[in-house]
Amino acid sequence: MTPLIIQRRECLLTGLGLLTMPISSIALQEPTTKKGPNLPDGSQAKGMMTPQLDKAVEKGLEFLATRRRPDGSFGTGAYTGNVAITSLAALAFMAGGSQPQRGRFGKIVTDALKYILTQENKEGGYPGFFHNPKSSPHGPMYGHGFATLFLAEVHGMIPDKELRTQTHDALERAIKCILDSQTQEGGWRYNPVPKDADISVTICQIMALRSARNSGILVPKSRVDRCVEYVKRCQDKREGWFRYMAQSGGGGQMGFARTAAGVVALYSAGIYDGPEIEAGLQFLVQSKPQGLNLQRTEMHYFYGHYYAVQAMYTAGGKYWADWFPSIRDELISRQRPDGSWFDQVCGHYATAMACLVLETPNNYLPIFQK
């Protein structure tokens, strides 16, 4: 790891008070065994970085930086001002080394944060619920989960005391909204009401809870245990893939994205090994990127790879060593001349996700720290 990377990483960790915090003290619950995450060390992560990767990320972040809206938000078309896309874009800048008011894109991170704070639905009956009703109405809890993750990741880095306090208070309300929306079976669904659940929304919430817990917000262990049981019920015990809902069936095209989400959900809950983890990883490796059909983007391609790279990063070892070079090279090949990536949602979403995947070896975001 280069001195610059060490300096940036320590700066981020110190900002959250996590520089010397062991993993056992920040996990949502104790792992089922004593095994912890097998994250790559600095030298292994550095070996994954190439000049082509650095250039691709630089172009991607420049694309986003030059297309943000005056109010600090991101997203185009039906997704204009979307809280999920804005949060993911801000996280991409942070994963590149910027913080609020610090670094090349520090002001952009600050402006995105201020925008997210304006999107709390204080008057709509769901205090602490972050959602822009004028943006795509589908699955607002996706947006809330990503917004909460962003608030949890950024709030300890904010130099302005008033803004930091405002963010912390908003984060506490956002976490309460997540807890109030959890179903009895343990998961979450599209809206902030505890009616039913699916794996794709559940991962957004449990990852946000993990990040919030890392930064000092109380998350009851009983809620995490309930989520773990739900996620395990979603898995096909024979083949390792995860169902969309506990009662549904079929692996299908979405099996890859759901399984990546399921494995990371268990990791986020502090479970780092066991039959569910190993079966999920074995299913995922069957879909290792091959660089084929680069002009075609599969359904939920970026969503799936956003979680898959986290799964392999946490698994470490051969999983990480085999996986990351493949997705790195495939994403670089998919990048457009203007620095963006394409997805049917919108280019801002695809570009933020692609940058986050490529930036994983940086290890700058606290959620990825040991």
35-44 tens-digit pLDDT: 667 777 656 6
Asked if residues 15 and 362 have their Cβ atoms less than 8 Å apart, the reply is no
226-249 tens-digit pLDDT: 999 999 999 999 999 999 998 865
The answer as to whether 142 is a domain residue is yes
The answer as to whether 277 is a domain residue is no
Mean pLDDT of 306-319: 97
What integer pLDDT is reported at residue 38 of this predicted model?
Answer: 72
The answer as to whether 78 is a domain residue is yes
Asked if residues 12 and 99 have their Cβ atoms less than 8 Å apart, the reply is yes
Put residue 300 in one of left, alpha, beta given phi > 0 → left and psi -120 to 50 → alpha: left
The answer as to whether 270 is a domain residue is no
What integer pLDDT is reported at residue 30 of this predicted model?
Answer: 42
The answer as to whether 137 is a domain residue is yes
The answer as to whether 95 is a domain residue is yes
User: Which domain does 170 fall in, by range?
Assistant: 68-181
173-215 tens-digit pLDDT: 999 999 999 999 999 999 999 999 999 999 999 999 999 999 9
Dmax (CA) for the chain in angstroms is 52
Asked if residues 227 and 202 have their Cβ atoms less than 8 Å apart, the reply is yes
Q: Which residue has the higher pLDDT, 19 or 148?
A: 148
Helix (H, G, I), strand (E, B) or coil at 193: coil
Question: pLDDT class for 126, splitting at 50, 70, 90?
Answer: confident
Q: Position 332: which residue type?
A: I
If one counts the domains in the chain, the total is 1
Q: Is the pLDDT of residue 24 over 60?
A: no
Q: Is the pLDDT of residue 17 over 50?
A: no
Q: Is the pLDDT of residue 19 over 60?
A: no
The answer as to whether 172 is a domain residue is yes
Local structure of residue 128 (DSSP, 8 states): T
Per the DSSP assignment, residues forming a β-bridge with 99 are: 102
d(CA 24, CA 219): 15
The answer as to whether 99 is a domain residue is yes
